[in-house]
Amino acid sequence: MLKKPELLAPAGNLEKMKMALLYGADAVYLGGKMYGLRAFGGNFTREELKEAMDFAHKLGKKVYVTVNIFPHNSDLEGLPDYLRYLESIGTDALLIADLGVFSICREVTPKMEIHISTQANNTNWRTVNAWQQLGAKRVVLAREMSLNEIREIRAKTTADLEMFVHGAMCISYSGRCLLSNYFTGRDSNRGSCAQSCRWKYALVEETRPGRYFPIAEDERGTYIMNSKDMCLLPHIKDVIESGVESLKIEGRMKSVHYAASVVKAYRLAIDAYFEDPEHFKIQQSWLDELEKVSHRPYTTGFYYHQPDADDQLYGTSSYEQTSEFIGLVRSYDPETRYAVVEQRNNMKIGQEIEVFQPHAPLYRQKLSDMLDEEGTPIEVAPHAQQIIKIRMDKPVEPYTILRRDVLKKKEPQA
């Protein structure tokens, strides 16, 4: 009998972590200020790491900390002390890619659960078994694998398996890249990737310096290393029935809106499958939810076929979305029906908004009554993170997202 897989979400900071867990993730993965591969993802101080553990454990959920850099000699200094600290605050598992880091962890924190990162390029069952024999509990499979290969690995190993189901695809092999190092001096394998694969490129002929020739017949140049984003929600039945223990969403540098929306869509799909596997069907509302967040067009990556030109974006690096995050509910008073809201984008009277909640159903209403912090009626809330009060048509939960429809393409959001 199939066991319901864990839904694992990214957490770039405390707010994103809380949103991911409240909207349905079973566990989150995050990084401290050192030793992870997302130096620009916000990340957590030691005090924030402790707060994250406490918050998650009160909900009965888990936190995995990334220690997945490929360290040089100088990077090893201080690592044992950091690992001991992570153990002392109740970290549920460490995510590791390098054998040296793995050995240090086994020496100084021998009881810690270890997960092997996708950056270790885990593409076959012998590798998975080898890591398990060394003491790893779980292995994160490389993105460059088919579902048939994953099924074979599942049949030939007893280790926990984790696979990516949603998020950005990288031009490099499972995230191991040197473009950033070459162009900017920022080491992508030590946490400082400049995302050089998203830049616009053209050809320069050796005897014609300064003359740029488009690689494709497009006056804008071409984004030859720019992949579509992975999305396996339409194929979640196949994914679940492959027998992996954890389904991973990519995106520690993504927004709060992304964390909540993507997690809830997959949460609803997974739960629906296990309620009635025989009659399970993909709901359009789940797919619509994934269109509302900032993303590139979607692809299934390597899971059903070898990616080809249709899986790449040669003409643009722009993102698209159908909804815009405008406010986050901090609290709600059922007597007055006012919600205290932190503004995240320009809001004004007359706009129709969508009310997206962790547990209650989604609904829409018009903004007809807004007050500032002093209780004075206002027509518009233009100031970043301005605290306002909004009268709600229905009760709302804390951490409810308010958003409005957009039809234009959006560039990446911070």
Helices 147-156 and 125-134, packing angle to 10 deg: 40
Identify the DSSP state of 31.
E
Q: Say how far apart CA 170 and CA 116 lie, in whole Å.
A: 19
- Cβ contacts of 157 within 8 Å, gap of 6 or more: 125, 128, 129, 132
Q: Say how far apart CA 201 and CA 224 lie, in whole Å.
A: 7
What does the block give as tokens for 73? 């000699």
Q: Is the pLDDT of residue 411 over 70?
A: no
Q: Is the pLDDT of residue 113 over 60?
A: yes
Task: Report the range of poorest mean pLDDT among 81-85, 290-294, 358-362.
Answer: 290-294
Kindly state the average pLDDT of the residues 124-143.
Answer: 97
Task: Identify the pLDDT of residue 408.
Answer: 56
Task: Identify the pLDDT of residue 180.
Answer: 61
Q: Say how far apart CA 141 and CA 164 lie, in whole Å.
A: 8
* Domain ranges within the chain, ordered by starting residue: 6-173+228-301, 323-405
What does the block give as tokens for 237? 């039945």
Residue spans of alpha helices (H) in 178-255? 179-184, 236-241
Task: Identify the pLDDT of residue 203.
Answer: 67
Helices 79-88 and 99-108, packing angle to 10 deg: 60
What does the block give as tokens for 378? 């206002």
Handedness of CA 320, 386, 12, 288 (dihedral sign): negative
Q: Which CATH architecture has domain 6-173+228-301?
A: Alpha-Beta Barrel (3.20)
Beta bridge partners of 162: 140, 246
Q: Say how far apart CA 103 and CA 109 lie, in whole Å.
A: 10
| Domain covering 323-405 in this structure, CATH number | 2.40.30.10
Residue 60 CB neighbours (<10 A) = 8
Q: Say how far apart CA 58 and CA 343 lie, in whole Å.
A: 28
Picking from 325, 396, 405, the residue whose alpha carbon sits closest to that of residue 359 is 396
DSSP string, 112-157: S-EEE-GGG---SHHHHHHHHHHT-SEEEPPSS--HHHHHHHHHH-
Kindly state the average pLDDT of the residues 262-288.
Answer: 97
Phi and psi angles of residue 205, each rounded to the nearest 5 degrees, phi first: -85, 140
More confident site: 205 or 342? 342
215-227 confidence digits (pLDDT tens): 554 444 455 556 7
Mean residue pLDDT across the chain: 87
Q: Say how far apart CA 206 and CA 209 lie, in whole Å.
A: 6
Kindly state the average pLDDT of the residues 376-405.
Answer: 95
Task: Identify the pLDDT of residue 168.
Answer: 78
Kindly state the average pLDDT of the residues 259-283.
Answer: 97
Q: Is the pLDDT of residue 322 over 70?
A: yes
Task: Identify the pLDDT of residue 220.
Answer: 44
Kindly state the average pLDDT of the residues 117-121.
Answer: 91
What does the block give as tokens for 151? 């099924």
Task: Identify the pLDDT of residue 58.
Answer: 98
Q: Say how far apart CA 277 and CA 286 lie, in whole Å.
A: 17
